[in-house]
């Protein structure tokens, strides 16, 4: 779910755009209301998905998000904490080894997906597009 601070900031930006696009205050207010309704329907849909997944006894249904979250966290820790520390310690010990392959680009994509930055498909579904 999107934090209220983010929603407030986005609404401020939307109001600035609406002020330039809609001269009629009634149309501007209607556009703002529709934006808030769209956001609320997305929030409610996500809450329902969360409730369904949490109530499931199946590890496949209820366990995939935690699994992906732990894998993402472990990969981030390995890439940005463990690997640099291991390289530093091996250098000090006099047995340097080459750095492992970088997972940077893939990890950022996974992180953005896990943090909800990939909600574009949900927006398409809410608009009724297949």
Mean pLDDT by 10 residues, the chain (130 residues): 61 77 81 76 74 67 70 85 92 88 76 67 69
pLDDT of residue 86: 92
The pTM is what? 0.42
What torsion do the CA atoms of 24, 29, 32, 36 make, to the nearest 10 degrees? -160
pLDDT of residue 107: 78
Please list, residue by residue across 43-70, b when 16 or more beta carbons sit within 10 angstroms of its beta carbon and e when fewer do: eeeeeeeeeeeeeeeeeeeeeeeeeeee
Compute CA distances 95 → 32, 43, 71, 75, 99, whole Å.
62, 52, 29, 24, 12
pLDDT of residue 40: 72
pLDDT of residue 2: 53
pLDDT of residue 116: 67
């Amino acid at each position: 779910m999107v934090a209220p601070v983010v929603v407030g900031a986005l609404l401020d930006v939307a109001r600035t755009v609406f002020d330039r696009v809609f001269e009629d205050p009634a149309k501007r207010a209607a556009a703002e209301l529709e934006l808030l309704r769209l956001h609320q329907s997305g929030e409610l849909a996500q809450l329902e998905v969360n409730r369904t997944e949490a109530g499931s006894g199946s590890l496949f249904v209820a366990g995939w998000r935690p699994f992906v979250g732990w894998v993402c966290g472990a990969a981030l820790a390995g890439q940005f904490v463990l690997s640099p520390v291991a390289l530093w310690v091996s250098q000090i010990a006099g047995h340097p080894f080459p750095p492992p392959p970088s997972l940077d680009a893939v990890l950022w994509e996974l992180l953005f997906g896990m943090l909800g930055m990939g909600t574009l498909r949900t927006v398409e579904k809410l608009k009724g597009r297949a």
